[in-house]
Chain A
Amino acid sequence: MAKKDSAVSMSGVKVKKSTGYKIFIVVNTLIMIGVVFFTLYPFIYLVAQSFSSERAIYAGEVSFYPVEFTTKTYEVILSKPDFFIYYKNTIVYAVLGTLISLFGSAILAYPLSKQRLVLNKFFTPFVVFTMFFAGGMIPSYVLIAQALHMRDTMWAIIIPGAISTYNVLIMKSFFAGLPGELEEAASIDGMNAYGIFAKIIIPLSKPVLASMFLFYIVGIWNNWWGPFLYLDTKAKWPVALYLRQIIMGATGTQEIGVASEEASQIAANVRSCCMVLTAAPIICVYPFVQKYFVQGMMIGSVKG
């Protein structure tokens, strides 16, 4: 009752409408429950499969929870060194790549955020244009693989995509919004631009740096395409590329025809298990850092 009253007083209209509004709230809640279910179901299904027996999966008995519960699949996968090797690679690429990306984006965004730099009239369009027209897959591939000889080195997956123009623009608008007084005071005290950047701007920019750190690290963590193009040696693969091989291996047998569907299903619990293991770190950390992602987008949208 109290709720209804407050709804009435909030909208300041008659009781008749608040009944309609109540119905709307119920419908809206149902829709939202539907969205939550729709979003989470594939994850639930994967986890259920990863803890189910092969027989149950093949028989189509798994839908929401594990059938014939077993942790054997995980034990088998984790007893082999593979996953740890690929995970280690992913961590190395993610940490190194993220640091390079953050540094590169920050030192580009900082001068671009200074309106008094008249040459930004040239540099800003120089940077922004690349968002609308890119070099394309083949010229980039040819440059990296044939001219720069980065093929089969980790640099091929870290350096070419290091700076995201979109992220630079987000950082730029954050820097531009910082109060200028501190910088002026420091410069009167004789601090040069490098000192101001390192000792004043960077500490003040923790929120945007946190967002950018997460955008970059998730991008590298999830990247399979760059490694797929450039890394020939399997020992250098990140876990995402290893996972691709597992998933596509199954497709390979499917391609032969429906008869082999059975053969590919034998690995279904293994596939699910590998997917769960690869997604787990992101899903576990995600709820706690989610606000930084949103925050990063918001900083970007203020400027539009």
Chain B
Amino acid sequence: MAKQKQQKNHLGKVKLGKHLKKEWMLYSFLIIPVIYYIIFKYIPMLGNVIAFRKYSGGPNIFGQKWVGLRYFKQFFRDRSFWNAFRNTLTLSITYLIFRFPITLTFALLLNEIRNLKWKKFVQTVSYLPHFISMVIIAGMIKEVVSLTGPINTIIASLGGEKISFIQEAPWFPPIYIISGIWQGLGWGTILYLAAMTGINMELYEAAKVDGANRFQQAIHVTIPGIMPTIVTLLILDIGGIMGSNFEKIILLYLPSTYETADVISTLVYRMGITGGNFSYATAVGLFEGVVGLILVVTANLVSRKVTEASLW
């Protein structure tokens, strides 16, 4: 038995040797990219070890000495961490709850447009904000909600008191969510529309024969047809709950809105890069990354059980 296995192993090695000899040129394409992945993706991954080690600057990025869970204990007692943790979840979940059905509805409505030129026009316009730099988006948001901006002009013309939206903590979540929907609405429909073009037309014919109107067709043919896409996107979104739109928040938040706007990644930035507490900030970031990974894996498992669709 053991001998057989050994022989098999040996054969495998010979095969692999032959394979490499034949295909070494193709494999050689991988050298530069793999080095790149090791340096810029995997070394930072290992660099997370400074969450458990003291690191206070310098070229040895893996830190000076082990400190165990000191930094984790520290941030678990830190009120600003819990504030950021709560904000991360609240912002992501409310954003998801609003954005997901709105995007799906928009995709279904786009799909019903029969005038192709008009459809193309709406699509082109709605994709545009996706390609604009977050700096400009943030600048636009500030202009629109400023004291002399259109929203306050309307409020004033209705006899209301002007609101300094950007400085008031309770207004941050609505600004974040509405601007997110504004920016992502069109681009978010692309994968749905792609899936819709893949639905077998005969299914629609059959539904018509059964007397289904367009609305019923959308419910009974279109939605089931794009279900795998819906599930996939939902998994990705759930996996992304721990990450928020960092760039937008860091451009829009102010000390006066930290209470509702500060999220884990902005806290990591302030602690680590502004404050120089590298190890502490890494511990917080690692917590975020691990929870995120657990969320994706769980969401995928659940969806594989419940529906047929899963990412892997």
A-to-B contact residues, CB < 8 Å: 11-13, 17, 20-21, 24-25, 28-29, 31-32, 35-36, 38-43, 45-46, 49, 57-60, 63, 104, 107-108, 110-111, 114, 116-119, 123, 126-127, 130, 132-143, 146-147, 159-160, 162-163, 192-194, 197, 218, 221-225, 229, 240-241, 243-244, 247-248, 250-251, 254-255, 258, 261, 265, 268, 271-272, 275, 278-279, 282-283, 286-287, 290, 293-294, 297-298, 301-302, 304
Check B213 against A224 for contact (C-beta < 8 Å).
no
Check A32 against B109 for contact (C-beta < 8 Å).
yes
How far is B187's CA from A298's CA once the two chains are assembled, in angstroms? Answer: 12
By a CB distance below 8 angstroms, the chain A residues around B191 are: 297, 301
Of chain B, the residue at the smallest CB distance from A105 is B33
B-to-A contact residues, CB < 8 Å: 16, 19, 23, 25-30, 32-34, 36-37, 39-48, 50, 55, 57-61, 106, 109-110, 112-114, 118, 121-122, 124-129, 131-136, 138-144, 146-150, 152-153, 156, 164, 166-167, 182, 185-186, 190-191, 194-195, 208-209, 211, 213-215, 228-229, 232, 239, 247, 251, 254-256, 265, 268-269, 272-273, 278, 281-282, 285-286, 288-289, 292-293, 296
Cβ 8 A contact of A240, one of B42, B135, B255? B135
Check B45 against A107 for contact (C-beta < 8 Å).
no
By a CB distance below 8 angstroms, the chain B residues around A46 are: 140, 143
Given contacts A31-B109, A137-B272, contact A42 B135 (CB under 8 A): no
Cβ 8 A contact of B278, one of A111, A142, A222, A275? A142
Check B148 against A268 for contact (C-beta < 8 Å).
yes
Check B29 against A147 for contact (C-beta < 8 Å).
no
Shortest CB–CB separation between residue A25 and chain B, in angstroms?
A: 8
Check A45 against B282 for contact (C-beta < 8 Å).
no
Cβ 8 A contact of B19, one of A118, A218, A221? A118
Cβ 8 A contact of A138, one of B109, B139, B229, B282? B282
Check B29 against A197 for contact (C-beta < 8 Å).
yes
Check A139 against B127 for contact (C-beta < 8 Å).
no
Check A36 against B148 for contact (C-beta < 8 Å).
no
23 contacts between A and B (CB under 8 A): A21-B213, A25-B112, A31-B109, A36-B122, A39-B125, A39-B182, A43-B140, A104-B36, A107-B30, A108-B30, A123-B34, A132-B239, A133-B289, A135-B41, A135-B42, A140-B40, A140-B47, A163-B36, A243-B135, A254-B254, A261-B164, A279-B136, A304-B232
Cβ 8 A contact of A247, one of B132, B251, B285? B251
What 5 pairs across the A-B complex have the smallest Cβ distances?
Answer: A135-B44, A139-B47, A222-B133, A108-B33, A193-B25
Shortest CB–CB separation between residue A234 and chain B, in angstroms?
A: 16
Check B281 against A138 for contact (C-beta < 8 Å).
yes
Cβ 8 A contact of B150, one of A32, A63, A141, A194? A63
Check A12 against B208 for contact (C-beta < 8 Å).
yes
Check A251 against B142 for contact (C-beta < 8 Å).
yes
By a CB distance below 8 angstroms, the chain B residues around A272 are: 143
Known A11-B208, A41-B150, A130-B42; further 4 A-B contacts with Cβ < 8 A: A194-B25, A255-B167, A282-B132, A304-B229
Cβ 8 A contact of B44, one of A35, A134, A254, A261? A134
How far is B132's CA from A222's CA once the two chains are assembled, in angstroms? Answer: 7
Of chain A, the residue at the smallest CB distance from B194 is A301
Check B128 against A286 for contact (C-beta < 8 Å).
yes
Shortest CB–CB separation between residue B176 and chain A, in angstroms?
A: 15
Which secondary structure dominates chain A's binding surface?
helix
How far is B31's CA from A193's CA once the two chains are assembled, in angstroms? Answer: 14
Give the most central of B37, B44, B251, B265: most A CB within 10 Å: B44
Check A13 against B213 for contact (C-beta < 8 Å).
yes
Check B59 against A147 for contact (C-beta < 8 Å).
yes
Check B140 against A119 for contact (C-beta < 8 Å).
no
Shortest CB–CB separation between residue A49 and chain B, in angstroms?
A: 7
Shortest CB–CB separation between residue B238 and chain A, in angstroms?
A: 13
Cβ 8 A contact of A127, one of B37, B61, B195? B37
By a CB distance below 8 angstroms, the chain A residues around B296 are: 132
Check A135 against B150 for contact (C-beta < 8 Å).
no
By a CB distance below 8 angstroms, the chain B residues around A140 are: 40, 44, 47
Check B136 against A243 for contact (C-beta < 8 Å).
yes
Given contacts A193-B29, A282-B132, contact A117 B147 (CB under 8 A): no
Given contacts A108-B29, A193-B25, contact A138 B143 (CB under 8 A): no
By a CB distance below 8 angstroms, the chain B residues around A298 are: 190, 194
Of chain A, the residue at the smallest CB distance from B122 is A32
How far is B30's CA from A278's CA once the two chains are assembled, in angstroms? Answer: 37
Check A286 against B131 for contact (C-beta < 8 Å).
yes
Check B26 against A111 for contact (C-beta < 8 Å).
yes
By a CB distance below 8 angstroms, the chain A residues around B39 are: 143
How far is B213's CA from A12's CA once the two chains are assembled, in angstroms? Answer: 9
Give the most central of A11, A107, A137, A304: most B CB within 10 Å: A137
Shortest CB–CB separation between residue B229 and chain A, in angstroms?
A: 8
Check B40 against A224 for contact (C-beta < 8 Å).
no
Give the most central of A58, A116, A134: most B CB within 10 Å: A134
